[in-house]
Chain A
Amino acid sequence: MSFEGLPAKATGKKMTFLESIYLVEIVRGLGVTISHLVKNIFATEAMPTMQYPEEKRVYSDRFRGRHHLMQREDGTPRCVACQMCSTYCPADCITIEGAEHPDPSIEKYPASFEIDLLRCVFCGLCEEACPCDAIRLDTGIYEIAADDRAKFVVDKEFLLHNKSDGTR
């Protein structure tokens, strides 16, 4: 790996006397910082900072936000509780309990499906592991806040009706 524009290895350049007593360099450094300060005082608007709740950045469609569970046509989860996602999840934050589905052609469905959003690192590996395209991180929701840890453990009902393509 190499970084463009950087020397491949440290040059071990000897400091000149002036540099080695630091003072001049310190003053130069102070000059750099104060120039930023002055510039920014007179051009506050030009600063790149975003005033977050009022202004929001537009993210790419591929942004990984809060998960949602895909639905079948009848509104039940597409998930078959194979637990590939929870197996692959590096944060170990998905808990699934499988159960026998009344429809024999489906066989297995998740009786419970919980994600601990506090532990999730939004890596998207669950989405990648899923053989049924049942879980997606495509809601684009990144404002995940609550006043109680328990509220971060979201259940199947929540995940099924969780924005992106409808409902709640």
Chain B
Amino acid sequence: MAKLTIDGKEIEVPDGTSLFDACREARGEPLPHFCYHPDLSIAGVCRLCQVEVEGMPKLTIACNTGVRDGMVVSTRNERVTQAAQQILEMHLINHPVDCPICDQAGECGLQNQYMKYGLYDSEVEIADKVNKAKAQVIGPHVILDKERCVLCSRCVRFCDEVTGTSEMGIFNRGNRAEIGTAPGVELDNNYSLNTVDICPVGALTSRDFRFQKRVWMLKAANSICPGCATGCNVRLDHEAGRLYRIKPRYNPDVNGRWMCDRGRMLYKAVHDENRLLDPARGGQTLRWAELDTDLLAGDGGLFVTSAHQSLEEMFLLKKLAAGGTVCGGLAGSDTGDSDELLLNADHTPNRQGLGLLDLPEMNGAALAEAISGTTGPVVVHGGNPAGEDVVAAALRGHGRTVYIGSHDNETAQACNLVLPGAVWAEKAGIFANRDGRLQAFSQSVARAGSSREDWRILAELAGGEVPGSLRAVREELAEALDLTEVNLNKLPARGLAPVGATSGGED
């Protein structure tokens, strides 16, 4: 342990901590910085984080200095603040300051630092600024404005250290130093949008989000990415009932600070034209009030859920099934690409949940057989089992089929009664990720059309046998899962780890 004094405050930190982190702890806020990033190596190029260490003649950068016992550091005296201001002024010499058309404005490091540490009057002639390329498309997701770059090299280090793809580099020297992709290379990896996140300025911006919305207008809701079994923690940025982008949320036990590009694009499905908006029977649109559940009459039947549904919904479907057969959906559906970093080959968010609730998956042939074999109703909840022709045929052959889902697909086409459910951003629920970690997501936008939360639909179909609120459903679910110690209505921020799992990383 090292004891040091920062701004007159004594703190104790483990040996090997960087002075930057020690200062953050002592000050309650980080030092001004561009290049430092907790998940990347130290570059020490932006020179913003300079502090005064007693005994050292010159100011020193905190990010590249280790703590030493007895160090006396000041971070707020005039010398330090003046240095920060001057460095900032230097960063801005060739900066275009085109904030009005810059998508980063509102969450920009330069803007924030300037308001906090700058506030000088610029002496630079606009005509004297060095011009560089603007609005260069450098990959499927990312667009680059070289003028805005402060050469912090975060993006370069990310591509070197995290993805190992090394597309980015800094070229030339001095005034003409500029960021860019290696010749003939595109910034095309499944994690490229993370460079947009870590770029402290508007040099790297998202092509998808470009000019869609000014960021200060967005509201955020915490959620879980439904794209694969990893279950990255995400933030949904939305406004006026529309999702605009998905950003990763820090969870050291799951995704750290990253998420993949594929996951970020999933918000598009929410506003898809293909959404089911109204209940329909035999292709005839109904109102909820006109709904007749005669199809569900009779004992037995087959109840098929899917790994896309939340734990609560699976649980309710199981209850609804009562005497009938329950099935976890099509075995091996929705699998695909994977990588070492985050993306899992299982592209469903809750396949572990099926296991928890003991809902066996079937392959297409078995499922088709089960459908044809039952005399009771067939209820399919989510997923698209009819993607397999045998199942589609079986569904068409059966007279009493119900599909609860959010999008129009083969299964919706094949079923008699179609009930529009909500997508994940429109409802709350719990997913179990690949490790069986239970993570809750909450509603961010209003439901499309007259669609309803799935658990409500299931509760209605079950006819009063089920609790009237999600809270109560979760309480029953906890009992069924034997999780009596746990409050499923209030899961920990990092999710509920399965017994025996280890946890790491700082908060």
Say if the two chains contact directly (CB < 8 Å): yes
The 8 A CB mask of B88-123 against A (1 = contact, 0 = none) is 000000000011110001000000000000000000
Q: Bound state CA distance, A83 and B101, in angstroms? A: 9
Q: Does A98 contact B (CB under 8 A)?
A: yes
Q: Does A99 contact B (CB under 8 A)?
A: yes
Q: Is the CB of A107 within 8 A of B216?
A: no
Q: Is the CB of A100 within 8 A of B211?
A: yes
Pick from A84, A108, A131: contact of B211, CB under 8 Å: A108
Taking A87-B216, A99-B211 as contacts, is the C-beta distance between A107 and B134 under 8 angstroms?
Answer: yes
Taking A87-B217, A104-B134, A107-B135 as contacts, is the C-beta distance between A132 and B211 under 8 angstroms?
Answer: no
Residues from chain B with Cβ under 8 Å of A98 in the complex: 211-212
The 8 A CB mask of B203-236 against A (1 = contact, 0 = none) is 0000000111010110000000000000000000
Q: Bound state CA distance, A112 and B101, in angstroms? A: 15
Q: Does A137 contact B (CB under 8 A)?
A: no
Residues from chain B with Cβ under 8 Å of A104 in the complex: 134-135
Q: Most chain-B CB neighbours within 10 Å: which of A80, A83, A99? A: A83
Which A66-117 residues sit within 8 Å CB-CB of chain B?
Answer: 80-84, 87, 98-100, 104-105, 107-108
Residues from chain A with Cβ under 8 Å of B214 in the complex: 82-83, 87
Q: Is the CB of B101 within 8 A of A80?
A: yes
Residues from chain A with Cβ under 8 Å of B134 in the complex: 104-105, 107
Q: Is the CB of A81 within 8 A of B101?
A: yes
Residues from chain B with Cβ under 8 Å of A131 in the complex: 99-100
Determine how close the nearest CB of chain B comes to the CB of A32; give it in whole angstroms: 56
Interface of A is mostly: loop
Q: Bound state CA distance, A104 and B154, in angstroms? A: 26
Q: Which residue of A lies closest to B214 (CB)?
A: A83
Q: Is the CB of B101 within 8 A of A108?
A: yes
Q: Bound state CA distance, A107 and B98, in angstroms? A: 11
Residues from chain A with Cβ under 8 Å of B100 in the complex: 80, 82, 84, 108, 131-132
Q: Bound state CA distance, A84 and B98, in angstroms? A: 13
Q: Bound state CA distance, A87 and B105, in angstroms? A: 13
Q: Bound state CA distance, A100 and B105, in angstroms? A: 17
Q: Is the CB of B101 within 8 A of A82?
A: yes
Q: Bound state CA distance, A162 and B99, in angstroms? A: 28
Residues from chain A with Cβ under 8 Å of B211 in the complex: 81, 98-100, 108
Residues from chain A with Cβ under 8 Å of B99 in the complex: 82, 131
Q: Which residue of B lies closest to A105 (CB)?
A: B134
Q: Which residue of A lies closest to B133 (CB)?
A: A104
The 8 A CB mask of B282-321 against A (1 = contact, 0 = none) is 0000000000000000000000000000000000000000
Determine how close the nearest CB of chain A comes to the CB of B198; give it in whole angstroms: 23
Q: Bound state CA distance, A84 and B105, in angstroms? A: 11
Q: Bound state CA distance, A100 and B101, in angstroms? A: 10
Determine how close the nearest CB of chain B comes to the CB of A129; give it in whole angstroms: 10
Q: Bound state CA distance, A87 and B216, in angstroms? A: 9
Q: Bound state CA distance, A87 and B217, in angstroms? A: 8
Determine how close the nearest CB of chain A comes to the CB of B26; give it in whole angstroms: 35
Q: Which residue of A lies closest to B207 (CB)?
A: A100
Determine how close the nearest CB of chain A comes to the CB of B144; give it in whole angstroms: 13
Determine how close the nearest CB of chain A comes to the CB of B240; give it in whole angstroms: 10
Q: Bound state CA distance, A82 and B214, in angstroms? A: 8
Residues from chain A with Cβ under 8 Å of B216 in the complex: 87
Q: Bound state CA distance, A83 and B218, in angstroms? A: 13
Residues from chain B with Cβ under 8 Å of A87 in the complex: 214, 216-217
Q: Bound state CA distance, A83 and B99, in angstroms? A: 11
Q: Bound state CA distance, A165 and B62, in angstroms? A: 57
Taking A81-B211, A98-B211 as contacts, is the C-beta distance between A107 and B101 under 8 angstroms?
Answer: yes
Determine how close the nearest CB of chain A comes to the CB of B119; give it in whole angstroms: 18
Q: Bound state CA distance, A104 and B216, in angstroms? A: 25
Q: Most chain-A CB neighbours within 10 Å: which of B98, B101, B216? A: B101
Q: Bound state CA distance, A107 and B216, in angstroms? A: 20
Q: Bound state CA distance, A105 and B135, in angstroms? A: 9
Q: Bound state CA distance, A74 and B363, in angstroms? A: 64
Determine how close the nearest CB of chain B comes to the CB of A81; give it in whole angstroms: 7
Q: Bound state CA distance, A131 and B212, in angstroms? A: 20
Q: Bound state CA distance, A82 and B216, in angstroms? A: 12
Q: Which residue of A lies closest to B136 (CB)?
A: A104
Residues from chain A with Cβ under 8 Å of B105 in the complex: 82
Taking A80-B101, A107-B135 as contacts, is the C-beta distance between A100 and B210 under 8 angstroms?
Answer: yes
Q: Bound state CA distance, A80 and B100, in angstroms? A: 7
A–B pairs, 18, beta carbons within 8 Å: A80-B100, A80-B101, A81-B211, A82-B99, A83-B214, A83-B217, A84-B100, A98-B211, A98-B212, A100-B210, A104-B134, A104-B135, A107-B98, A107-B134, A107-B135, A108-B100, A108-B101, A131-B100
8 extra interface residue pairs, beta carbon distance < 8 Å, beyond A81-B101, A82-B99: A81-B211, A87-B214, A87-B217, A104-B134, A104-B135, A107-B135, A108-B211, A131-B99
Top 8 closest pairs, chain A to chain B, by CB: A82-B100, A98-B211, A108-B101, A83-B214, A131-B100, A80-B101, A107-B101, A80-B100
Which residues of A pack against B, CB within 8 Å? 80-84, 87, 98-100, 104-105, 107-108, 131-132
Which residues of B pack against A, CB within 8 Å? 98-101, 105, 134-135, 210-212, 214, 216-217
